[in-house]
Amino acid sequence: MDEKPGAVLTIDELSTYLKIPKSTLYKLVREGKVPCQKIGRHWRFRKESIDRWLEDNRAGTDPNDPKKKQGD
């Protein structure tokens, strides 16, 4: 997989990277839950955005939790 800064992944590549079925990934895309862009008929994903999204959405964490202070 391309690890260059600014790397862009296809749906197949992201499915492999996340180790989830493409059908699940398409569902997340439809629901607006994963950062992506549609170029023509094709979905593209910036690896940097996906990595940030994964970090922000770890189980047990809520970036919008007012009890959690910045820098904790």
- Give pLDDT tens digits for 6-49: 799 999 999 999 999 999 999 999 999 999 999 999 999 999 99
Torsion sign over Cα 60, 62, 68, 69: positive
Whether 67 is in a domain gets the answer no
Domain span at residue 37 reads: 8-56
The answer to whether 10 and 40 have CB atoms below 8 angstroms apart is: no
Give the number of domains in the chain.
1
Q: Given a cut of 60, is residue 68 above it in pLDDT?
A: no
Whether 72 is in a domain gets the answer no
Whether 30 is in a domain gets the answer yes
Whether 22 is in a domain gets the answer yes
Cross-strand bridge partners of residue 39: 42
Assign residue 23 the CATH number of its domain: 3.90.105
The answer to whether 13 and 1 have CB atoms below 8 angstroms apart is: yes
Position 25 scores a pLDDT of 96
